[in-house]
Amino acid sequence: MTVDDHAEEFVGLPVRDYDPEEGIADPAGSAYRLSFSWNDTEEMGSFGERLALFLEDPNASQVRGLIIGAWQGDDSALSSESIVEALVAARAILANLRGLFLGDITSEENEISWIEQSDVTPLFDAFPALEQFRVRGGTGLVFGKLRHANLRSLVVESGGLDEQVVRGIAASELPVLEHLELWLGTEGYGRTAGVADLAPILQGDRFPALRYLGLRNCADADEIAKAVAQAPVVAKIKVLDLSLGDLGDEGALAIAGSPDVAKLESLDIHHHFVSDEALAQLKGLGITIDASERMKPYDWRDEDNRYIAVSE
């Protein structure tokens, strides 16, 4: 899944679109998505009004999975700040919340790099029982240093990730975090994060429970792959995901030459630019590898140019 479809499952539950007329009919068996997109009319209110109705429902206190979809209506510059504030204010109502996805917005609704996010740090203090957090959109996104005892999965999807976001996450105390997924993106859409910012994560002792590391959707994926191939963290995880990026032979061969990569359960590089020869070396590791979606560079000014899966 990239950004073309809405989430269909979250926190182990099927996703159900919230209908104010129906209310929260199945809080135990469904994760609920709230949205207000550009084709919703003024007569349908606003996202804030819809969220208020959701929180007033007596069953809101039983909801375990909450997905925030498009909130901007026809104002693409509207950030998530007021939503974060409303959720924090409703912490007592949403005490059973285990999963929060902020920004389940498809490319048809708003391009990933046009999604205006905000400081999401207060959400982690407000919801100490939270186990999964996923956010889409890097513009305006802020992560402070987190301290959270129960967070198991953290996913940040972007077309270009700022170094301060990566540094904030890398400095966090997340003792049970098992799944860390960062879409690093490209400089053309705001990326400033690099290998140096990832260093505390790659060192391997920052998140002791980590089993999945995803450094996805990354331009200059060869440089990331070379750093990962030598990183202590690889000996501690089970799954390495370098998919959706512009990985080529240089990075693939570095990965293939790592003894610790050969001990992984699986490696994902789908959407790549790796040759048959380099791919053969990866497959020789004897682990499960997803090397689907080999892409072709495009010609620009007589040069081959590689690209990532999701940028704008």
pLDDT at residue 23, as a whole number: 97
Instruction: Output the pLDDT for position 77.
Output: 82
For helices 221-229 and 195-202, the axis angle rounded to 10 degrees is 30
Q: What is the CATH number of the domain that holds 283?
A: 3.80.10.10
Same domain, 58 and 163: no
User: Which pLDDT score, from 0 to 100, does residue 117 have?
Assistant: 97
Q: How many domains does the chain have?
A: 2
Domain identity same for 149 and 294: yes
Same domain (yes/no): 123, 229: no
| Domain final position from 83, 110, 138 | 138
Structure-token pair, residue 162: 């700022």
Of 111, 138, 165, which residue constitutes the final position of a domain?
138
The residue segments making up the domain with residue 128 are 1-138
Does 123 share its domain with 168?
no
Cβ proximity of 244 and 273 under 8 Å: no
**106 and 163 housed in the same domain:** no
**pLDDT at residue 146, as a whole number:** 97
Tell me the CA distances in angstroms from 215 to 25, 89, 110, 212, one per residue in order: 38, 33, 23, 10
**What confidence score (pLDDT) does residue 42 get?**
59
Signed CA dihedral, 37, 43, 49, 51: sign only: negative
Tell me the three-class secondary structure of 176-222, residue by residue: CCCEEEEEEECHHHCCCCCHHHHHHHHCCCCCCCCCEEEEEEECCHH
241 and 277 belong to one structural domain: yes
My answer on whether 124 and 215 are in the same domain is: no
The answer on 224 and 303 residing in a single domain is: yes
Give all strands of the β-sheet with 239-241 in edge-to-edge order: 9-10, 13-17, 31-34, 65-68, 99-102, 132-136, 153-157, 179-185, 212-218, 239-241, 266-268, 288-290
pLDDT score for 300: 77
pLDDT the model gives residue 73: 77
Local confidence pLDDT in tens for the 312 residues of the chain? 579 999 999 999 999 999 999 999 999 999 999 998 766 655 567 899 999 999 999 999 999 999 999 998 767 789 999 999 999 999 999 999 999 999 999 998 989 999 999 999 999 999 999 999 999 999 999 999 999 999 999 999 999 999 999 999 999 999 999 999 999 999 999 999 999 999 999 999 999 999 999 999 999 999 999 999 999 999 999 999 999 999 999 999 999 999 999 999 999 999 999 999 999 999 999 999 999 999 999 877 767 799 999 998
111 and 167 housed in the same domain: no
Q: State the pLDDT at residue 82.
A: 96
Same domain for 117 and 21: yes
Angle between helices 221-229 and 249-256 (to 10 degrees): 10
Task: Please check whether residues 178 and 193 belong to one and the same domain.
Answer: yes
Q: Note the pLDDT of residue 39.
A: 66
pLDDT in the model for residue 282: 97
Asked if 2 and 129 sit in the same domain, the reply is yes
Residue 34: beta bridge partners?
A: 68
Interhelix angle for 249-256 vs 276-283, to 10°? 20
The domain boundary residue, chosen from 138, 155, 184:
138
